[in-house]
């Protein structure tokens, strides 16, 4: 087994005295784990930071063996580690990716979306420049793993107009007229998820509430539910940014 590719570091775990097991997302081969010799050394620690872009070289004698991984830094995103909001966004999205994706299954759309969102976190002067992309990434991840929401038409009437809610059970859109009586039981559907654009802060928080409901219900069960604490920290910081 030999894979050489550009990859996004998603999770790093110490292994033994000096090594580390690194899980990184590639475009063509999906999420791959590998053992980095000396991964805890002073030289490699700044490279093996979740969110960083690396050149990864995986080598193993058999498909069952954990590959040896050598890495070379392509782009560092560690400059954001002193900023609470960006670091919370990077921590959450990489942990979500590492926890939910099956290994060695290609998800090129997710790779492109995650890379673009992380680049926006680094480049944007504030969270307004990347928060909508975060919501879209969570929505795309749900879709790629078979839990996509149907936001194209009202599940009650079939209408494509005036969509304003989402059913928390079916994940289908509901028009404002059809959902008015049940609005307290429905999730708000922010317009930017239909029409594009960045959305207002309140739209973004509604979007996070929407995706959070389905992530928790459909994907983040059992042990992987522990990573929801990272999401809660991120949402709390975004709320403080609004107020």
pLDDT digits (tens, 9 = 90+) for 172-192: 999 999 999 999 999 999 999
φ/ψ of 109, rounded to 5, equals -70, -40
Distance CA 51, CA 40 (A): 17
Q: What is the pLDDT of residues 191-230, one digit of tens each?
A: 999 998 888 999 999 999 999 999 999 999 998 999 999 9
Distance CA 103, CA 60 (A): 15
Does the pLDDT at position 109 exceed 90?
Answer: yes
Residues composing the chain: 243
Confidence of residue 243 (pLDDT cuts 50, 70, 90): low
Could you give the percent of the chain with pLDDT greater than 90? 83
Confidence of residue 80 (pLDDT cuts 50, 70, 90): confident
Within the chain, all domains assigned CATH 1.20.1440.120 are found at 79-242
Distance CA 173, CA 131 (A): 22
Domain 2-78 has CATH 3.90.110.10: no
Within the chain, all domains assigned CATH 2.40.50.140 are found at 2-78
Does the pLDDT at position 26 exceed 70?
Answer: yes
CATH homologous superfamily of 79-242 equals Recombination protein O, C-terminal domain (1.20.1440.120)
Q: What is the pLDDT of residues 28-52, one digit of tens each?
A: 999 999 999 999 999 999 999 999 9
Does the pLDDT at position 105 exceed 70?
Answer: yes
- Name the strands in the sheet holding 150-154, side by side, starting at the edge strand that comes first in the sequence: 150-154, 172-175, 163-166, 187-188
pTM for the structure as a whole: 0.94
For all residues of the chain together, what is the average pLDDT?
A: 94
Q: Give the ranges where 40-107 is alpha helix by DSSP (H).
A: 84-100
Distance CA 179, CA 98 (A): 36
| Among 20-24, 71-75, 126-130, the least confident range | 126-130
Does the pLDDT at position 16 exceed 90?
Answer: no
């Amino acid at each position: 087994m030999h894979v050489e590719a550009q990859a996004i570091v998603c999770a790093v775990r110490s292994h033994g005295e000096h090594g580390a097991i690194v899980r990184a997302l590639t475009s063509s081969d999906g999420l791959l784990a590998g053992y980095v010799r000396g991964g805890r050394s002073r030289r490699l620690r700044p490279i093996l930071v979740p969110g960083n872009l690396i050149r990864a070289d995986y080598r193993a004698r058999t498909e069952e063996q954990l590959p040896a991984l050598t890495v070379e830094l392509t782009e560092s995103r560690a400059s954001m580690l002193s900023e609470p909001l960006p670091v919370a966004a990077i921590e959450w999205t990489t942990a979500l990716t590492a926890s939910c994706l099956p290994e060695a299954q290609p998800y090129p759309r997710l790779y492109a979306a995650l890379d673009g969102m992380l680049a926006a976190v680094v480049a944007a002067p504030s969270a307004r420049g990347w928060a909508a992309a975060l919501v879209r990434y969570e929505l795309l991840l749900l879709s790629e793993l078979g839990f996509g929401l149907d936001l194209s038409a009202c599940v009650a009437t079939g209408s494509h107009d005036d969509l304003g809610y989402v059913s928390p059970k079916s994940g289908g859109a509901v028009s404002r007229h059809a959902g008015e009586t049940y609005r307290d039981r429905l999730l708000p559907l922010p317009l930017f998820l239909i029409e594009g654009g960045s959305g207002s802060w309140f739209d973004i928080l509604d979007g996070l509430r929407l995706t959070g409901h389905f992530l928790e219900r459909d994907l983040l069960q059992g042990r992987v539910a522990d990573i929801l604490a990272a999401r809660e920290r991120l949402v709390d910081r975004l709320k403080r940014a609004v107020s």
